Amino acid sequence: MKKIILPFLLLISAMSFAQQKMSCCAASATESFAQLASSKEFVLSHPLPLPFTFTSENGNAITFKAPDGTDAYGWEIKAKQPTNNYLFVIHEYWGLNDYIKKESETLWNDLGNVNVIALDLYDKKIATTREDAGKFMQAVTTERASAIINGAINYAGANAKIYTIGWCFGGGWSLQATLLAGKQAYGCVMYYGMPEKDTNEEQLQYVHDIFNQLGKAVKIDEKLMNAATVLGACGTAFAMRYIRANIQGGIEIGFDAATANLIAAQTVKGAAELLLKKGTHPEHEIDKVTTPKGCTIAGLNEMEHQGFSSSLIKGLVASYNKIGKD
């Protein structure tokens, strides 16, 4: 099964609209998000869903027991071959409608070798108007939603490897489902939602461990999200531009394009791994390979004379300022 874990730790990220409108009460993260249904601006930001009917030959409605003995509901597509991989899909504002069922089947087809269960946190209620959507979202209690999710975890079984994905209202509950799954949780995708407010160090470390399966996770202050976008996302393009220039230079000094590409990419990979493994500053490692009157220092000085470092810094700042203006 393809991993669907996000490469960056976004536990404390949330859409800025939610942060601006959230009241300062002691409600849970998911209940705070539900309070946004009282905001006219939030309500009008959701276009009414167009009429749509989805027919599936693979999915079926299911009923399972919540831990409190009540019935809980969902829509399941079983894997073609027996597997312990489970993806919980959690609907957004409108409920478990045919759009969510279609998206669930798309994920089932794309991922392969996974049982997909779209959970119904609205208990069979589907909204077709903004008023109903807001009413249903605000009616969801932490106790009831947690009971439904725990029921689904029990339904999947003790050996299940559980992944979660959700949008808007479901984004926050995707994170909650991951926390409830504990050691059975293998991945979490939040398409925005309210950040968790009442976490302990054990929970944070566990979620860190999930994201660390793909690389290095870091927790940052939300006010640095724009900066993180520039440094981590735009930075990928900036690094590619450096590699491209390195390749062009390699061709000019005698290599064919394929060989220059390989050497340039491997050099960047090696330099990055050196910093990640040792935790040293780049200048410390530069000093180790820079000999007096050598070719390395000659090249470095010429690059700096031409504005290499300053142009990169200016590019980062320009990208950051662009985000702020838009």
At 29 the pLDDT is 63
- Distance between CA atoms of 34 and 194, rounded to whole angstroms? 9
Determine the pLDDT at residue 71: 97
Q: Output 201-204 pairs: Cβ under 8 A, ≥24 positions apart.
A: 203/179, 204/11
Q: Boundaries of CATH 1.10.3730.10 in the chain?
A: 225-325
- Whether the CA torsion 121, 72, 115, 212 is positive or negative: it is positive
Residue 73 is given by DSSP the state E
| 3-state DSSP assignment of residue 99 | helix
Q: 230-278 pLDDT, tens per residue?
A: 999 999 999 999 999 999 999 999 999 999 999 999 999 999 999 999 9
Please list the residues that pair with 221 across neighbouring strands: none
Instruction: Supply φ then ψ for residue 127, to 5 degrees.
Output: -90, 140
- Where is average pLDDT lowest: 33-47, 214-228, 241-255? 33-47
Above pLDDT 70, what percent of the chain?
Answer: 87
From residue 324, how far is each of 219, 224, 294, 321 by CA, in Å? 22, 12, 43, 5
Q: Is the domain defined by 16-219 classed in CATH 3.30.450.60?
A: no
In the chain, beta strands by DSSP E: 59-65, 71-77, 85-90, 115-119, 161-167, 185-191
Q: What percent of the chain has pLDDT over 90?
A: 63
Handedness of CA 206, 208, 210, 212 (dihedral sign): negative
Question: What's the pLDDT band for 41 if we cut at 50, 70, 90?
Answer: confident
Q: How many CA atoms lie within 13 A of 34 on its CB side?
A: 20
Classified by CATH at the fold level, domain 225-325 comes out as ProC C-terminal domain-like fold (1.10.3730)
What residues does CATH 3.40.50.1820 cover in the chain? 16-219
The tokens describing 261, both together, are: 């590409």
Whole-angstrom CA distances from 310 to 239, 316, 319, 322 are 15, 10, 14, 18
> What values do phi and psi take at 75, rounded to 5?
-135, 120
In this structure, the number of other CB atoms found within 10 A of the CB of residue 93 comes to 21
Average pLDDT over all residues of the chain: 87
Reported pTM: 0.62
Pick from 94, 102, 117, 96: which is nearest to 177 by CA? 117
CA distance 143 to 191: 23
Q: State yes or no: pLDDT of 14 exceeds 70.
A: no
Of 104, 99, 32, 37, the residue nearest 75 (C-alpha): 104
Which strands make up the sheet holding 71-77, listed edge to edge? 59-65, 71-77, 115-119, 85-90, 161-167, 185-191
